[in-house]
Structure 1
């Protein structure tokens, strides 16, 4: 499959890139600094400013799917930068007539109780709020789309480097936790779940989550 992966050098994006290449997909890595990517079979790095909607649309033409691991973590105004980027990605995907958009979401918009999202709980870390609020707004934007075939995958509360086990649970809009009450997923298994969804779509126009 021909994939455009936006943010392929980031924490989650690099894991998705590794997983996609390991399965033989042809990946166009859409990044700000293509020189950061080591050469690999089936990998084509391209330098694009995601906020340049026209340039982005031109680069997305001809692929079977776009996976967005775009984030604004390195920016001073994370929330504003992220939303400008995700809006550009949505419009560019439609302009390029790409059949599908998969988006890396956040855990903050997952419910921990009926009507209560993780982001709105008292102990949610302040340093992660701009990112979580941006991801929640991105989900709202996607749900308002009338024609775009989108999917968002939210991780568990904790996503960190670990093992690729291939053993995890999938859920909907509620935060997943294990028997110890811990909500976690390795970035490697998150990537497995994302590429699984790419290959065998089961959450069209939906958000879902992954955890142990």
Structure 2
């Protein structure tokens, strides 16, 4: 798991541990990981490092990428590193990339990040996640990957209900047209996908 200490990554880590999975958290500063659940194995690692991926891959069924922050090129660099390093590797783990909801499509078929009222402060990270998605779709032959998008707007820490619905490139909406999901239930969806793959080599989204 890259990004195990983040808002989303920590929920995925906890969900996986609670289900009995062995989780390895690859972090840049192992000394600052007291917040991780008991039982998580912490190692020094970086998603943009070929060496880190090569060291972790042999014992992994899936490599979860839930990194945040940094410049907008971070997500593409990490995606490219995982794909090129894992390609051709025997029994290579699957890539699970936690991406942006702003890459989902509006009813008009345009990306949310391209809307005129999209907040400028979020545009660099949104563009970075869009570049990563484009890379998987165009250049990730020879590996197994899944790109996961949360709802584009109403996505917050909250309650774990264990319930959600999935969709493709457009948000999953309720009867009021809202697309809502908690971080906790996105973690449920991600671990479910790891345990029972349904969206290999494609993107999916989830909401109530």
Same fold (TM over 0.5): yes
The unaligned stretches of length 5 or more in structure 1 are: none
What are the within-5 Å matches in structure 2 for residues 175-194 of structure 1?
Answer: 175-194=171-190
State the partner residue of 2:95.
101
Partner of 2:50: 53
Decide whether the 8 Å contact of 1:171 with 1:208 is kept in 2. Answer: yes
* 1:28 aligned partner: 24
SS of residue matched to 1:16 = helix
How does 1:110-121 map onto structure 2 within 5 Å? 110-121=104-115
Deviation, 1:183, is 2.2
Partners in 1 of 2:112 and 2:28 — Cα distance? 31
Q: How much has 1:114 moved relative to structure 2?
A: 4.0
Q: Answer yes or no: is 1:10 the counterpart of 2:3.
A: no
Out of 38, 41, 46, the position equivalent to 1:44 is 41
Bigger Cα displacement from structure 2, 83-92 vs 182-191: 83-92
- In the alignment, what sits opposite 1:210? 206
Q: Cα RMSD over matched residues?
A: 1.8
TM superposition shift of 1:89: 2.5
In 2, the alpha carbon distance for the partners of 1:58 and 1:95 equals 15
1:147 aligns with 2:142: yes
1:92 corresponds, among 85, 93, 100, to 85
Per the normalisation by structure 2, the TM-score is 0.90
Q: Higher mean Cα deviation, 194-203 or 171-180?
A: 171-180
Kept after mapping to 2: 8 A contact 1:70/1:86: no
Out of 116, 136, 149, the position equivalent to 1:122 is: 116
Q: Secondary structure of 2:73's match?
A: helix
The separation in 1 between residues aligned to 2:145 and 2:115, in whole angstroms, is: 28
Cα offset for 1:117? 1.3
Contact 2:79 2:136 in 1 (8 A): no
Q: Which has the higher strand share?
A: 1
CA contact (8 A) 1:57 1:95 kept: no
**CA distance, structure 2, for counterparts of residue 121 and residue 40 of structure 1:** 39
User: Which of 162, 166, 181 matches 1:166?
Assistant: 162
Structure 2: unaligned runs, 5 residues or longer: none
TM-score by length of 1: 0.89
Aligned residue pair count = 204
Determine if contact 1:7/1:31 at 8 Å carries over to the other structure: yes
> 4+ residue runs of structure 1 moved beyond 4 angstroms?
none
Give the secondary-structure state (helix, strand or coil) at the position aligned to 1:86.
helix
